Structure 1
């Protein structure tokens, strides 16, 4: 794809932001319509409920991995200089950060991407959560919490392994990604068939998953056409929230524009428009019956802000984008996030004798 005409018109930073904007609009729209959330998928596992979120999640993840690995296998993109493989990565950061993030998303009742979507749809609880996540993420990314992040992240790295690439570590080679992708596709098809997932959710999972390889492809092509070096990347929400805060703090300085800023803005716009078009926009506050105390949301959001940066991403950034690249730390972080969420749900929320399954059998929505 040729970005040169657009670069010559609006400049490199704005063009990069435009890529993120398009990806974010699509993600926000489909995530709002389907309720896509890793926390909800984890709750279905935790509570043994046969709902819609786990198969939706599996479709998206299988599509992300298969699409990305197909591009790598075909030589269309090269991920070796990206944030997952360009330098040694932190295994301890993936474990500790992923676990903290998982605990946080269970307490705040939604992962970071879901909370952004909910905030754009009128949920003021999510707005508070995103504000806390953003501030703590910024402090962990480039503020006063950097020493703590470095201390936790330096406990165990991929240096002894010599790689962060599952394809290299496995010894299988170039076909590893396609094999893993095929296995995930088979698993997703089996679960979807058992759950009889509606067409909207199947389409939503395919589109959300396809955005990951699309992000890798577009950002990689962009990186080949600019003078200032940029790293190819795909969807994420932790660093982008911190960088969006930098952009706002700069007063809209164009040099602060990036795919990160565009992605956050696009997700907000896509979710907002979708909620208006389908009449699901509704102002929700802490005064609603059954809503946990606001301090629970604050605590959970703070854990996500710190844990997400430590793990080098949220469930989307580390889990989907890193997982699709077959980054060892990405898969570890995703597993730790899901494990942390399940453990927290079992300890804090799940009461078998009091749980009444909704008519469609889904877990409680992320809100």
Structure 2
């Protein structure tokens, strides 16, 4: 997709991101596609329908991204965020994933579900959104009157030194297993193999095959992820360079400060009073925790055009799509907290999701599907940690609900770990249920 000026390119990127998010928001609301719900169904009821839908979405995204990358239509190497970075922040992926998994369970849903619930009239999720947005924003941006962020104050000094620099310069399975030269072919075949395995897992179940909502939800979410990768990878500028004549380059390359010989004239930046960050135009797809912080930044900047990013319009698109479906289906209704305890659970969950989502570099969608589609090891670690944190929290909640006063937190925790076969069954403190 070629554009003659920066404003047109930016508009095309935002319209593409918003349109796909709008469709995804409507379908997710309609089908009740929910990653936290998927874990809950599997842990509490032994129902794997929504988990298979989630795995189906991952399979679609994985097959789509690896296939399109193989033919040059997706460039995931230079993505934002940098999923394939050679700096494997494994401790942040794991700790952030655990915090996020616990948080989304307490707050009744992940980042994407929070947006879906807002579109459906849930005022509890408005509070959750606000808390996540503030924390996500200040994890990356300096606190008022300071040059420190929450990340630098609380985490950076002790957790970043644990990161591992990989020899191949990238953390995707293709590079790790086949080296830089063989990475392209390896990614394709690994992506196909994993994608087929996930498809087999999903469609092995007759119940899943017979559930239109589960199939539709997984399909649309997966296709939306691939579509966003495609759109953001194919926005280019064509312009007249005083040194090299007619040029066609990606927007992110054009904005690279190293390319100082290019004439960034008014025609290219028509309508812009400041040059935006090149990261806003790097190939990317949907993730929702950092974009909630970006949305707060967009509002605090007076809704400046340069602060309107892919992430911001993705957030707005999902809410709008969910709202449209809620109105059309008659499902729109206001909902508030049932009790102080309900409020505190959501408040604490939102805090944990804000910290965890930024630490892990994504959420159940951002790392669990978008990041996984790049075959990044860190994304897989984050996904496993999110599922574990959520499942463990659900088991603890269940034991405390059934046994009430008898089930202290330590007893419920040890029993939950015994259920998950992470400690010997002899250590169990409560009878299995």
Q: Same fold (TM over 0.5)?
A: yes
Quick one: which of 163, 177, 190 aligns to 1:176? 190
Unaligned runs of 5+ in 2: 143-148, 179-184, 237-248, 256-277, 404-433
Local SS of the residue matching 1:315: coil
Higher share of residues assigned strand: 2
Unaligned runs of 5+ in 1: 355-367
Note the 1:180-259 alignment, pairs <5 A: 180-191=194-205, 193-222=206-235, 224-226=249-251, 227-228=254-255, 229=278, 230-259=281-310
**Which residue of structure 1 aligns with residue 171 of structure 2?**
164
Quick one: which of 35, 38, 41 aligns to 2:35? 38
Local SS of the residue matching 1:159: strand
Larger RCO: Structure 1 or Structure 2 (Cα < 8 Å, ≥ 6 residues apart)?
Answer: 1
Local SS of the residue matching 1:215: helix
User: Contact 1:102/1:340 (CA < 8 Å) preserved in 2?
Assistant: yes
Q: What are the Cα deviations for residues 154-183 of structure 1, in whole angstroms up to 9, with x where unaligned?
A: 143241464311122234824111111111
Q: What are the Cα deviations for residues 76-128 of structure 1, in whole angstroms up to 9, with x where unaligned?
A: 22211221124523111100000000000111110111011101110111111
CA deviation after TM superposition for structure 1 residue 197, in Å:
3.8
Local SS of the residue matching 2:204: helix
User: Contact 1:272/1:281 (CA < 8 Å) preserved in 2?
Assistant: yes
**Which residue of structure 1 aligns with residue 74 of structure 2?**
77
User: Contact 2:22/2:317 (CA < 8 Å) preserved in 1?
Assistant: yes
Write the distance in 2 (CA, Å) between the matches of 1:216 and 1:292: 40
Write the distance in 2 (CA, Å) between the matches of 1:313 and 1:284: 27
Write the distance in 2 (CA, Å) between the matches of 1:96 and 1:115: 21
**Which residue of structure 1 aligns with residue 407 of structure 2?**
none
**Which residue of structure 1 aligns with residue 181 of structure 2?**
none
**Which residue of structure 2 aligns with residue 62 of structure 1?**
59
**Which residue of structure 2 aligns with residue 279 of structure 1?**
330
CA deviation after TM superposition for structure 1 residue 3, in Å:
4.8
**Which residue of structure 2 aligns with residue 94 of structure 1?**
93
TM-score by length of 2: 0.75
| Mean Cα deviation higher: 84-93 or 268-277 | 84-93
Write the distance in 1 (CA, Å) between the matches of 2:350 and 2:203: 34
Q: What are the Cα deviations for residues 180-206 of structure 1, in whole angstroms up to 9, with x where unaligned?
A: 111111111113x24454223312211
Write the distance in 2 (CA, Å) between the matches of 1:248 and 1:107: 27
CA deviation after TM superposition for structure 1 residue 131, in Å:
0.9
**Which residue of structure 1 aligns with residue 151 of structure 2?**
146
Q: 1:248 to 1:206 in 2, by over 3 A?
A: same
Write the distance in 1 (CA, Å) between the matches of 2:232 and 2:194: 24
Write the distance in 2 (CA, Å) between the matches of 1:188 and 1:95: 26
CA deviation after TM superposition for structure 1 residue 151, in Å:
3.4
